[in-house]
Chains A and B, each alone.
Chain A
């Protein structure tokens, strides 16, 4: 049986990774506050996740870019932009954008909500699956900023007045917030809670 740190009175500093005694309230090395288990992180993660989910709605409904082409103003939502790319025979780019702008946020939110549910409601999911999912979320999350990156570059580069002009539309803010909040939600979660829950099952396996 694997032993857990808390069982032997050890506690890891979340900041500097120093192992401290559970008795201590502050890290010996960095004086950061020590928690054996941070149960409040679960709440924080939930809140951030819900906020992100809410913001996902305007991020998809409202146009994300405003393109003025020869005096003609064109608003594009995320989806209409992807469709536009598809129509423009730029399928690979469309796929990338689709993945980054739609798939990734959705996966993150859904994945996180599964983890949180698993922790909060003791849903029995195999440790291995959870771990794999967690890694994916961690890794892929940062790529969803791609869309915002493209927009910010376009806005900065395409500025020719009435002839051609691109501007971020309201959805860009919402979308950026969705990405930020999901990242935060993943970050703020004290993953040890997950491992705690997973251990016994692992044992039984």
Chain B
């Protein structure tokens, strides 16, 4: 039986989920593949000098203990100088494989301080890598020595530089306060001068290493033997055996970083002596290695070394760090040893221990401390700036040596620093310093005198002996004489050292004198030292008498004491004093005897002039012959006279009868024809009578009908008349005539004119001119005209009448008696006065009123009429 099977519908699965599996596997495989390609290592080559300790497939490359690569192969390089080690590096090490990356072989090392590279003992040697900078590289040269530091190590790696390694070795401990805090990890030479030691400080102590830390060698045992005892110090047993390094730490400084470089000092002292300076000196006497630097007796440093330089010696000095702040720009160093002197021994211990270098800190903290200081030879003076420095000059050294005391009232106020010759070698110069408190004693007129150790004063009153102390004897001393001036001494000015107070007084008196130079015709009998008197009181002396070749006279230099200076401000004159001055006159005889000193040496007197006298001249520096001449300020002139003149000395020079001068000396000249008279014009008149056109003439008694002229000359002898000139030029040489010129005695403003006649007739000098019978003038002189055809008579009209005469005036001769006898007119007798009868006369009549136009000019020549017209008598113009 066939059953109809119901159709079974099976839903066909297109894609079974099982197919996800291969897809996942594929993805996984692909991912793994990509990852492996990505993480495949980098093959590099490292060139080693030898393959000792390197195994293929075994030797690893480690960085800080982490394996980053493995040696794949070792091959000998082309030139057989080493091996090329192929290393497969981890892909993660790829960034480190740069040009400066370092590789070196680490092998286990055992030393006294421990075993290093212990891991290498089990795992075998390994190649250490220190990543560096630069471009990526695959070929490297292996380092022979481990590089000094391995950045990234816990702790801090610092480099110490030193001259020599000493007993340090890899592993030598680094101590801080005797606690081991690190170790020396490597050392290497830097060039051929220095050793660079790499020191590693453990992390927990790393902060102790500061930027300004000092490292010093503590290797071995340090024995310090000095006068104070023996000190043995050592850090630890390990440091005795293996050496060690200790260091200092400053709380405030910054913490040192990896790779910081420090100096490794030989000892703690040198290391901690923070500041090293150079001291320069001319020679190193007394300065030695170890010479102490002392401030207020405390050691603050020492000399480390000294060496010869081109200009002296340079010593390296070390300042201990705690005193470093004392060192300033203006600090001073000086060498001080034991000082043995008369006053005692200073610092006797230094005789044993040697000199020390003293230090005085400065105050200038602003500027940087220089690296070099000069070593002074002696202590600086603390009061230097306040001290007063003086320079004394003296003509010669008076036994004063450097170090001598400067005293005031026998109390020391300073000392002499130096005695030397001045630059021009003309004098001795003393450098003085005064204690500040005494600086005010110095005045502008202060001076110094040397102290003599022994002064013996013997006089009629007795003998006094003064002795000073011992130092005065050995070194001398100077005393300050203060002076009276209120003004302090100007800076840079020098004072003088006098040999004694007297010399000084004289010097200053002289300095204060007023100096004058007188001009004299002759030496005036004075010499240097001759006194100068004022009212018989000496007011000065003559300084010098010099002949001056140019002017052929003498310059007498006077020195007038200061207190008499006011005298010189008034008008004054000088005259010479004769030893005995006898002036005899009708009034009596006056004998003046000069003071004895003046009589011996000759002397000069000063006299004051009437101050109201205008003619007086303050600058009158003439030396007069006599008091009289002087007081009148006479001016010398020289007259030349004919030999026949009977002129004698003391004859007067007169003008209009007034004496204006005096002849002082008359001398017959060598030619025997002339006389030379030296004369003086009184000062007030001199101006008028020293003009070049002045007329000098001899006045002698003249006896004539008209009377006796100058009758006084009968007694006194002739004198000299003078007429003033008008020229602006002055002269001192004149020629005197025997007779006066016509107008000698005529007033200046008189109307002067000339009358002309054929014959002189009875006219003579003095013939009067009448106007209406009043004498208005006279004839002053007459002469022949140059042609000889007429006589010219010089006449004048007195000034008060001059207006009566003008061009319309007529002059006629009125001399004698005019007898006019006529048949019809009878006899007419005309006669003037008796005087005209005797001496002749001239009448004058004027027709017109005198006006500006018809004024008679001086010197006009008028005709002298012989007879008067009748109408002339009628003329009577109102004048």
Contact = CB atoms under 8 A, between A and B. Distances in A.
Q: A and B, one complex?
A: yes
Interface of A: 23, 40, 43-44, 47-48, 50-52, 54-55, 57-58, 61-62, 70-73, 162, 170, 174, 177, 181
Nearest to A178: B25
B22 interface: yes
B18 A47 contact: yes
B122 A44 contact: no
Given A48-B18, A48-B21, A51-B22, 6 more contacts: A47-B21, A54-B25, A55-B28, A70-B122, A174-B29, A181-B25
Interface string B51-70: 00000001010000001000
A61 B22 contact: no
Interface string B1-38: 00001000000010010111110111011001100100
A139 to B, nearest CB: 25
B67 A73 contact: yes
Contact of A54 (B16, B20, B29): B29
Interface residues of B, number: 23
A40 B29 contact: no
B18 A57 contact: no
A5 B33 CA distance: 49
B124 interface: yes
Interface of B: 5, 13, 16, 18-22, 24-26, 28-29, 32-33, 36, 58, 60, 67, 119, 122-124
Contacts of A51: 21-22, 24-26
A57 B33 CA distance: 10
20 contacts: A43-B18, A44-B18, A47-B19, A47-B20, A47-B22, A48-B18, A48-B21, A48-B22, A50-B21, A52-B25, A54-B29, A55-B28, A71-B122, A72-B60, A72-B123, A73-B67, A170-B32, A174-B29, A177-B25, A181-B25
Contacts of A58: 28-29, 32-33
B18 A71 contact: no
Can you list the 9 inter-chain pairs with the closest CB atoms, starting with the nearest? A71-B123, A50-B22, A51-B25, A51-B22, A47-B18, A44-B18, A54-B25, A51-B21, A43-B16
B19 A43 contact: yes
A119 to B, nearest CB: 15
A118 B111 CA distance: 76
Contact of B16 (A44, A174, A177, A181): A44
Contacts of A50: 21-22, 25
Given A62-B36, A71-B123, A55 B16 contact: no
B32 A62 contact: yes
A40 B13 CA distance: 8
A174 B25 CA distance: 9
A163 to B, nearest CB: 8
Given A71-B122, A73-B67, A61 B25 contact: no
Contacts of A177: 25
A50 B33 CA distance: 17
Nearest to B20: A47
Interface-centre pick from B21, B29, B60, B122 (highest chain A CB count, 10 A): B21
Contacts of A55: 25, 28-29
A119 B21 CA distance: 21
Contacts of A57: 29
B58 A72 contact: yes
A62 to B, nearest CB: 7
Contacts of B119: 71
Nearest to A188: B18
Nearest to B13: A40
A200 to B, nearest CB: 24
Contacts of B60: 72
A70 B24 CA distance: 38
B115 to A, nearest CB: 17
Contacts of A73: 67
Contacts of B32: 58, 62, 170, 174
A140 B67 CA distance: 42
Contacts of B13: 40
A40 B58 contact: no
A59 to B, nearest CB: 10
Contacts of B19: 43, 47
B26 A54 contact: yes
B122 A54 contact: no
Nearest to B6: A23
A110 B51 CA distance: 48
Contacts of B123: 70-72, 162
Contacts of B36: 61-62
Contacts of A71: 119, 122-124
Nearest to A48: B21
A47 B20 CA distance: 8
